[in-house]
Amino acid sequence: MEYVFQNELRIYFFLKYVPGGNIYDNLYKVQRFNEPTVKFIAAQIVLALGYLHCNQIVHRDLKPENVLMDEQGYICLADFGLAKFLTENDLTFSFCGTAEYLAPEILDMKGHGFQVDWWTLGILMYEMATGRPPFMNKSHHRLGILIRTGKIIFPDPVKHGIEMSP
């Protein structure tokens, strides 16, 4: 964040201009990223989440729309509206996040910590590599069942033309 101020009605947050757009829009244009690009973006997100976690912040809403890219492909995390300060051994019980990216711990409402950010990173990596999240369903109830019990299916390289190393 570059700057923040408020008036009687609103709080205004100003971010640095990131001309490359967000991952969602970039992914929509190309359908999926190649493996080196996924690794490059994921490595940066690992560093960003590590920094947040060391500063006792859990993001809780990592998704393609909340990862901005500059023109060289370097990322900037955005939208800290669901972020929370949390100590290492504490749990939070808020039901929050975006349906396709929710970790099972959030769905079960038994408390969650920093691990939910790592879950969403895995979901995001899968989506960047394949063009869609691993769990999808129009019914939020069915989606929750898939997230809790579903098996992640990796696309057939011959049928879908998506190559992924082990």
pTM attached to this predicted model:
0.91
As separate numbers, helices (DSSP H) first and strands (DSSP E) second, the chain gives 6, 6
61 is known as an active-site residue? yes
| pLDDT (0 to 100) of residue 120 | 97
Residue 103: exposure state from Cβ atoms within 10 A (0-12, 13-18, ≥19): buried
High-pLDDT (> 90) share of the chain, %: 79
Distance of CA 103 to the CA centre of its chain: 11
Instruction: Report all structural domains of the chain as residue ranges with CATH numbers, in order of start.
Output: 21-154 (1.10.510.10)
Q: Report residue 5: phi and psi, to 5°.
A: -155, 165
Catalytic residue among 61, 70, 90, 156: 61
Residue 43: exposure state from Cβ atoms within 10 A (0-12, 13-18, ≥19): exposed
| pLDDT (0 to 100) of residue 117 | 98
3 state SS of 58 = strand
Secondary structure letter of residue 163 according to DSSP: -
* Per-residue pLDDT reduced to its tens digit, 42-89: 999 999 999 999 999 999 999 999 999 999 999 999 999 899 999 988
